[in-house]
Amino acid sequence: MYRHDAKHTANYELENDFPFITLLNPKAEENTQVGNYTVRYKIKGKTLPNTTVSLYYDIDNQGYDGQIISFFSLNENRDKYFWDITKNPPKEYNRYYYIYAILKDDESTTSSYSIGKIKFLLNNKVGGAAFLADGTRVEIKPNVVCADDYSIAIKKLEEIKGKGKLYVISKAKDNISQFKHINYDPIFNSTLREFLVTHNGKEATFNKDIKNGITLIIPYSEEIEEKYQEDDLRVFYLDEDDKLFKLASNNQKVDKDKNLITAIVDHLSIYMILSKKQVNDFNNTTAYPNPFNPITDNVFTITPIPDTTYKVKIYDLRGRLIRTLSKDNGEITSGSEVIWDGRNDSQKIVADGIYFYLILSEDGSYSGKMAVEK
């Protein structure tokens, strides 16, 4: 099995403009149910059309006894691979494995090992729930996450530990100021909650893509009720990578009688209530990053957009429609943003060049241009 020093690889490949791959997960000790697991990675440097990726899992991250997960062309899966564990199971369940990747073309071969390990749980049979005396509650539907020795926990801001995590929370609060349709106020700190799964008293992670599988209920104070319009209150989640608070979902309900917000979400994270003004025009609409690199920037974002936005179309310089984004696919978040991953309707990364976007809403339309540079 091919063995390579990941740190040396990164420096060497940057100097020689060769591509290299970095695995983004697992970051720590993760636990996932038998089903699907998303392996995420980043590619830097110039790649050739025949570049391939090989993914393996291994018990000691030495690479000598690794088992193949998949082998594919980089054009098929540019930044992530959906591992169907039911069709390609590990040799053993209920034990930890490292994941590593090999990136190869005609001119170079590089590899990357995951920082953390992942365990595939065979007998997850139940969901679960947790609640606090103030009305905070989380419910996870059955057959999703928790086995008998796992439990769901809720933490308030003052209970969250770790300088790294607290720094990300602080930075995300600071970044709210760049969005004119979202208001942050220190009184919202009382609504911040971390929802997590624990195993033997320690934080555990699991496959986070649980569509409509988690119900959160978060209370808000009378002080918030008096100062802000309750119809404008929404639950936001912390995107730790982007250091931003983003709208948790379109499926939210404000209970004005009980001062509670219920949100249906697809993953556990840190959540907080913020005030989001209704958007019915494009006066403050901005787009970033521009130029946009689909490989290193992850997504191109346009925000804020009207609540009535129903479709966004992206065209190339010749006027050809290359992608249609919609709410149904989760690419448009009502009253907040539209995101584009740099792919066409065939899920291929688009070529470098100038592109135009057209936003369609019941309140009118809006267009702009962007540059794609890899």
- Answer whether residue 147 shows pLDDT above 90: no
Largest pairwise CA distance in the chain: 66
pLDDT score for 144: 52
Cβ atoms within 10 Å, residue 362: 10
DSSP-based three-state secondary structure for 202: strand
d(CA 228, CA 246) in angstroms, rounded, equals 19
pLDDT for position 4: 41
Q: What is the mean pLDDT of the chain?
A: 82
Does the global pTM surpass 0.85?
Answer: no
pLDDT at 125 over 80: no
The yes-or-no verdict on residue 28 having pLDDT over 60 is: yes
Question: Across the beta sheet with 260-265, what order do the strands follow?
Answer: 128-131, 137-140, 214-219, 260-265, 252-255
Q: Which residue has the tokens 């999703």?
A: 144
CATH 2.60.40 fits 286-372, yes or no: yes
Q: Cite the DSSP H helix spans in the chain.
A: 6-16, 163-175, 222-227
Q: Given a cut of 70, is residue 374 above it in pLDDT?
A: yes
> Residue 224 gets which letter from DSSP?
H
Question: Is the model's pLDDT at 73 over the cut of 90?
Answer: no
Q: Are 104 and 72 in contact (CB under 8 A)?
A: no
Domains 6-121 and 286-372 share a fold: yes
What residue spans define the domains of the chain?
6-121, 128-276, 286-372
Q: Worst-scoring range by mean pLDDT, 20-29, 53-62, 95-104, 216-225?
A: 53-62
> What is the pLDDT, as a whole number, of residue 338?
86
| pLDDT, position 200 | 65
CATH class held by domain 128-276:
mainly beta
Residue type, position 42, single letter: K
Q: How far apart (Å, rounded) are the C-alpha atoms in residues 7 and 29?
A: 22
Report the range out of 33-42, 52-61, 85-94, 228-237 with the highest average pLDDT.
228-237
Confidence band, pLDDT 50/70/90 cuts, at residue 3:
very low
pLDDT digit string (tens) for 177-236? 888 788 999 999 999 999 987 766 667 655 445 666 789 999 999 999 999 999 999 999
User: Which residue has 């929802």 as its token pair?
Assistant: 195
| Whether residue 10 has pLDDT greater than 70 | no
Q: Are strands 117-121 and 29-33 parallel, antiparallel or unpaired?
A: parallel
Highest mean pLDDT among 129-138, 175-184, 288-297, 348-357: 348-357
pLDDT exceeds 90 at position 100 = no
Taking residues 331-342, what's their average pLDDT? 75
192, 235 contact by CB (below 8 A) = no
In the prediction, which pLDDT does 185 show?
Answer: 95
Amino acid 236: pLDDT? 94
pLDDT at residue 191, as a whole number: 98
The whole-number pLDDT of residue 58 equals: 83
Counting residues of the chain whose pLDDT is more than 70, the rounded percentage is 82
Cβ atoms 38, 209 nearer than 8 A: yes
Distances (CA, A) of 95 to 58, 118, 285: 11, 8, 48
One-letter amino acid at 75 equals N
Residue 12: the pLDDT is 42
Which residue has better confidence, 92 or 136? 136
**Reported CATH class of domain 6-121:** mainly beta
